Structure 1
């Protein structure tokens, strides 16, 4: 048995179960069960549940960013101490002293990535569920907690003429132009929100006089690489996955503005 599939199975079931729960709740208040907006709001509800559960992790991230900012003067002294020393022993000594500083201040350079890393299995699970919708619908099968009827409903649902299970490279039965336009709009929204979020993270974790800090250069690299990742990923992922991705980016941006 595929080890990766075995690991992802519970995540696929949980993601699909949450979507079904929101879908049934929305249907019970009068929204059409087979309507694309009902399933869209179900995906948004999935994001809200996952991100709400991650609020404690986000607060730890903010505290880690503050500690990282207080750490910068000591890091600058360490860089000045080893400036111009390129031998192996000096590099090892600098790395050891740097790790000791991180431990002393209770932080590390990857602290800002923790919420993203936790979300990865849920994102991959949603991608697997939505990517297999059309195939499962054709074979009369369910996926995870989704019944055969719900799989067919999702496969036939769309918003603005774009099927939720379609992507730019793998169009569905709907209007391919609508899929392309909606994909581009969501990529722009994801890119803008991610750019603004990363700028706020840099402002929180780095003092203004740390222009030569290697960690700041690393964060600046993420600032411009992530939009490229969004652009490439956007043409590969179904519309439903892009809805999830856009919503979670907007949530992250709102959190950065809300938590001072």
Structure 2
């Protein structure tokens, strides 16, 4: 049986957006799956139909949800997370619940400063109303294009929005934004863990939501650990890199990194 792989989506994308990755990783000999977050519907349509089920789930809820899934697996998995999924993957890796982790355009963990203006603009649909902390929020096609798909053609951006986007809880964004003022923040990762498995951080040079500077600042948070922490940058990619037409390049780099580390 192949090594288990858990794909963890971030805000506004349904778990089924990982389907092409699952096929690619299965062909490479892994046993992949992409569970949804707590409250997610089985399909994009189900999630859109019941946005209240998604609302008010925070980072701790999602970590506990995926930790429960990890506990059912025959061996420690490899985690591949995008955006807030990348933050979740790092928390689980820091808790020694994973063999390795790949965090793609990962949301900022506690200690990362400052957050660039483009990231604030990308998340404005949530932050413009404090009540959104306890609600779910959807992105319009225009908001999705700025936050995710700014490096692809308008036609592809609209297609991605229609195919994969779902409402997202606002709470994780509020928790991440206040992380550096909260000693018990759910965005805190055990970056000093010496015994954890390897970690790969992937940055996108044109990402409005998680700019490259955020990923490089995240890398610095791991400076007190001798465990493997690598970084790769795609200078011309945006936040949609895991779902847009260029996804195979990212997936193949991940597979190559795993092979390099005998994972």
TM-score relative to the length of structure 1 = 0.26
Which has a greater percent of helix?
1
Between Structure 1 and Structure 2, whose CA radius of gyration is higher? Answer: 1
Which has a greater percent of strand?
2
TM-score relative to the length of structure 2 = 0.26
